[in-house]
Amino acid sequence: MANIIPAVIRVNPSYTVPELLLQYQQASGAFSLLAGGSPLVRLAEGDLVAYIRRMDLRTKVQDGQFAANQLPSCSIEYHEISTPTYLLRTSAGYDHHDTAAFGRTGSSIVDAQRLAMRQGVFQMLRNLLLYGTNAANGEGLLNTQGATLANLPADSNGHTTVSTYDPGQLAMFILRSIGAIKTRTNQIGMGARVTIITTQNIMTALSYSGIVQLTQFQREGAGSQSTRGMIDTVLNWNEDEIEWGVDDTLTGKGAGGTDPIIVTIPEVKRPASPINTNEFATLQPGLSACNLQLVDMVAPREITSPMAHGAVDVVSELRSTPGWSVRPEALTIISAQYQ
């Protein structure tokens, strides 16, 4: 990893702003797709595969005015699902000359290289979450087998691109997709956390460009909303919580080179009732997550080693699973052409 600190010529007298003007990268919202909003620290060092134990239930009960001689029974089927883990690694190298040169910038080379390595590891962690390493094995949320895949249909005017789509009809299509997810996961009637992730272009169109016509939607006191505002309001009526996020690596990753709009409920809720027709779901330990990513530590480990000629080498590493949608019925991927 290079440390390029050239010599500079300045006019004197002059003033130097003490703060550094830093390069900004897009902060991905993809991790809000996960249960709890971040990867779970569950892996031990060196774990190569993660498993989840699963139980499926089938019940039979007989009713009658008199006791029967033969009774049906309940069937509980156990099996396991699994996903591999991958070790993410990067390194930094510098010596005392690099440290002295970097000191002229007013910052620390140790902190700069640490943050640079962490950014690289976190970006790769995002790639694992969305795309996995081996797509053919269903790794990554976008490659989830059993997820609901949909294409944005033409609106009533025949428009098929988000930039020209009728804002109200676009909002209704996304709302129907959210309702379908809640139906498939048996969450209708309960407030849920809904997460929508897409590209910046589509998010801009949803938030700023499209204004819903008054004949399609009105707020209290009249007035109109953007597509995103209409979705937020309707979800609020249903006591749902919604999180929006962007990630431009999604550009072109939808069907046929379109941009995907990922809609999901990251975790499910169990209704609390004295008489619960979903009673088996209260068996402990139970997992409420729909989308998971497991890691072996909160932040990457750093291993510092001496090198020849007084230099040091720092390795940053983290082990993680790909994005894992353990309840694929909670995930919908809408492919939409921006323009």
| pTM of structure | 0.91
pLDDT of residue 274: 85
Q: How confident is the model at residue 284 (pLDDT cuts 50, 70, 90)?
A: very high
Q: Give the Å distances, CA to CA, from 56 to 71, 103, 292.
A: 21, 61, 20
For CA atoms 233, 238, 241, 244, give the dihedral sign: negative
From CA 179, how far away is CA 174, in angstroms rounded?
A: 9
pLDDT of residue 272: 77
Question: Hey, which residues does 312 pair with through a beta bridge?
Answer: 94, 306
pLDDT of residue 223: 57
> pLDDT tens across 126-160, in order?
999 999 999 999 999 999 999 999 999 999 999 99
> pLDDT tens across 154-165, in order?
999 999 999 999
Q: How confident is the model at residue 206 (pLDDT cuts 50, 70, 90)?
A: very high
- Whether the per-residue pLDDT at 244 is higher than 90: the answer is yes
pLDDT of residue 31: 97
Angle (CA) 323 282 76, round 5°: 85
Q: For 259-275, what is the mean pLDDT?
A: 92
Q: What percent of the chain has pLDDT over 90?
A: 79
- Whether the per-residue pLDDT at 1 is higher than 70: the answer is no
Alpha-helical segments (H) within the chain: 96-103, 109-131, 167-184, 200-204, 227-237
Q: For 293-315, what is the mean pLDDT?
A: 94
Residue 49, amino acid: V
Helix (H) or strand (E) holding 75: strand 75-84
- Whether the per-residue pLDDT at 222 is higher than 70: the answer is no
Question: Hey, which residues does 13 pair with through a beta bridge?
Answer: none
> pLDDT tens across 168-204, in order?
899 999 999 999 999 999 999 999 999 999 999 999 9
Q: Which domains, and CATH codes, for the chain?
A: 23-50+84-339 (3.90.1690)
